[in-house]
Chain A
Amino acid sequence: MKHATSYDNKSQEHWFMWLITGFFLIYTFLPLIATLLFSLARRWTTTILPESWTINAYVQVFRDPAFVGTMGRSLFLSILASIIEVGVVILALLALNIGKNRIGDWLEALAIIPVALPGVVLAIGVVSFYGEFLPVLLGQPVLLIGAEAAFGLPFVYWTLQNSFRAINVKLLYEAACTLRCTTFQFLTGILIPSLKRGIAVAGAMAFATAFDDFALAQLIVGAGWETYPVLLNKYFRIDGHQTSAMSMIAIIITFLFTSVAGYLSQPDQNVQKEDDFIIQKKASDMGETVKA
């Protein structure tokens, strides 16, 4: 009887899980499928699937000089912003971990600002500030790069903070110090290799955030230094067909980076084997004792 009820509970739980997951998956992928079909359709009006197919939209996109220019700018912007973010946060977290002054709270408070801050508000702040003090910079890409870097800080900060916690950086730094290792050697030889996974996740997220961003790009530099989403927005109501192909390209790039980041951020796969592992360790420890 007992077995029967617990089995029942389990299957019930499964049923609920797949219902909600299925709903979520359809919600996520149906729009993507629609976009993909749209971009490949030659004629599509009242049927469920397109009546005839073509890849003209993609040909058109790749022939468009604006596409190459904006894509180049967006890639440049996103790569630069993510490198800045990861570098800046690693240094700050290292300082926080090995230093003694209580700067941690401040760094953390700063990192939370962009979560709460809508892009439009940051954009208008940047425009007001530089319009007043450094008007030369208005419309320059450097403003956008800086703003993107600041805007993406929270995810990078949290991701890397978790990685830092996982390896006890303070202790490692002290060990390195007693081995006569400089801070720079520690950074390049120990810290960055140990944080590989965290850096990959943080960098990918920073890249995706910067690449997808429209508010800052549109409002800070706009047409002066058009990024990919700005171009996409411009074409949105002009040419649906080309827009669908461009959207698809943007979605694929976002998908690559965010899904890899998501996959890497999963809890350690070793965890499930932990018990076995401890037993193994124990066994080898025992072996040592016997030898001794």
Chain B
Amino acid sequence: MKQLRLKGISKWFGTFQALKGIEITVGAGEFVSLLGPSGCGKSTLLRIIAGLESADEGEVWLDDCNFSCVPPQKRKVGMVFQNYALFPNLTALGNISFGLEVQGMDHEKARHEARCWLEKVGLKGFEKRYPHELSGGQQQRVALARALAPKPEILLLDEPLSALDASVRTALRNEIRQIQQELGITAIYVTHDQAEALAMSDRIAVMRNGEIVEMATPQNLYRNPASLFTAEFIGAASRFDGILLSIHPAIGQFGRFTLLLPELAYYAQPGMPITVMIRAESVGLARNTVEDRAITVLRGEVQMNNFMGNIIRLHVGLFQGGTMLIDLPAEDNCIFKTGEKIDIKVFPEACLVYDSKSGSSLLKGVPQAREMIKTAV
């Protein structure tokens, strides 16, 4: 259980800067996900922590120990790879005990310990199987056990589930989280799958173009994303660009319609360009009921109708311009035909308001992206 600190990590590949001064602190025993689209540098960052790449600038600290120049062999990290990376010449048991044996542990003792680990990941009886005789999910379990067996101080997972089938993915992600909590090991998890990151993490660091956009708990990140990028990346939302008309009350103008907005921060100025993101599940249908507070009602025509099992997602073309996504519970009275006209109600607090230029949140009480990271440090 150690605390990991990254200080100003930068990395260039030729003239391309893959990482731009990354600063993070991961608390002891914390599970942190690095979430971002492919090419954002999240895997590179993980490899730098593991020591498989060296940073051009910056330092990696584990507690009070500077790891920057320490080769991966001496870092005491455990790593799980996307493509399992099991040694093809060793059995499941051999793979797990390998890491113990190279450190000079007695053969029998290593075998015994490896057997315990195999049991822990639910693969009792698979000792003698070779990697090519195991399914993807089983291989990744072995890889997890192999990484954990030598008792690393930090566990690194590089998209460990992305090569697996959807059903196996869910099962395995819970298992990973469970084992991590059991051991209380510090873990860093790289993924591009938001559902995975939201479900597993203590905190999530959202990355874009080699920078950390924001870092927060899954709840905060989803409910009040501090940056426009996060709001677009996580969850399904409709986006509207416009300008801020007034602050008290907060009203924005978006083409041919206006929206009532929630209370804004002190630095919002009337006339500034703003972007509003509205989550699909936070809008509803305006039926004839009378609301007792100020809401915006918009009218549109159903363009597309995706039945997704538990919900129905409507793509509604607004008559005033733009498209709105709406998630409705999959009940019979919510099924609409394409072309049907409907009314939509938008509560002010459903609107996530951002400064179009900087992409930072204008809502009162949501800290700026930069501040967010600093408080964590």
Residue of A nearest to B138 (CB): A284
Tell me the complex Cα distance, A25–B147, Å: 53
Q: Does A286 contact B (CB under 8 A)?
A: yes
B89 to chain A, nearest CB (A): 4
Contacting residues, chain A, for B164 (C-beta < 8 A): 285
B76 proximal to A (CB < 8 A): yes
Chain B residues whose CB sits within 8 angstroms of the CB of A171 once the complex forms: 81, 83, 85
Chain B proximity mask over A11-52: 1 for CB below 8 Å, otherwise 0 = 000000000000000000000000000000000000000000
A-B contact count, CB below 8 Å?
Answer: 108
Picked from B51, B83, B146, the residue with its CB within 8 Å of the CB of A177 is: B51
B135 CB–A CB distance under 8 Å = yes
Interface size on A, residues (CB 8 A): 30
Chain B residues with CB under 8 A of A269: none
List chain A residues, Cβ under 8 A from B143: 175
For A88, the chain B residues whose CB sits under 8 A away are: none
- Shortest Cβ distance from residue B45 to the other chain A in the assembled complex, whole angstroms: 15
B interface, size bucket: 35 or more
B358 is an interface residue with CB less than 8 A from chain A? no
Q: Which of A171, A194, A289 has the most CB of B within 10 A?
A: A289
In the complex, what residues of B have CB within 8 A of residue A177's CB?
50-52, 71-73
Asked whether B102 lies within 8 Å of A281 as measured between CB atoms, the reply is no
Q: A171-B83, A174-B81 are in contact. Are A289 and B167 (CB under 8 A)?
A: yes
A185 proximal to B (CB < 8 A): yes
- Interface set, chain A 43-85, CB cutoff 8 A to B: none
| B240 at interface, CB cutoff 8 A | no
Which of A168, A179, A285 is B146 in contact with, Cβ under 8 Å? A179
Q: Which of the listed residues B73, B74, B79 has the most CB atoms from chain A within 10 Å of its own CB?
A: B73
In the complex the two chains form, is A189's CB within 8 Å of B98's CB? yes
Contacts of A289 in B (CB 8 A): 167-168, 170-171
A189-218 interface with B by 8 A CB criterion: 189-190, 193-194, 196
How distant is the Cα of A291 from the Cα of B167 in the complex, in angstroms?
12
Main secondary structure of the interface of A (DSSP, over half): helix
CB distance from B277 to the nearest CB of A (A): 34
Q: Which residues of B contact A180 (CB under 8 A)?
A: 72-74, 76, 99, 102-103, 150
Task: Name which residue of chain A comes closest to B175, CB basis.
Answer: A292
| A124 CA to B297 CA, complexed, in Å | 92
Cβ A281 vs Cβ B136 within 8 A: yes
Q: Which residues of B contact A185 (CB under 8 A)?
A: 102
Contact A284 B135 (CB under 8 A): yes
Contact assessment for B99 and A181 in the assembled complex, using a CB-CB cutoff below 8 Å: yes
Closest chain A residue, CB of each to CB of B75:
A178
11 residue pairs A–B, Cβ–Cβ below 8 Å = A167-B88, A175-B87, A177-B72, A178-B147, A178-B156, A179-B78, A185-B102, A282-B135, A285-B164, A288-B138, A288-B171
Q: Other CB < 8 Å A-B pairs besides A174-B81, A185-B102, 19 of them?
A: A168-B83, A177-B51, A177-B72, A177-B73, A178-B75, A178-B77, A179-B78, A179-B98, A179-B147, A180-B99, A182-B73, A189-B98, A190-B89, A193-B90, A280-B135, A284-B138, A285-B137, A286-B167, A292-B175
8 nearest A-B residue pairs (beta carbon): A292-B171, A179-B99, A193-B89, A175-B85, A178-B79, A281-B135, A177-B72, A289-B167
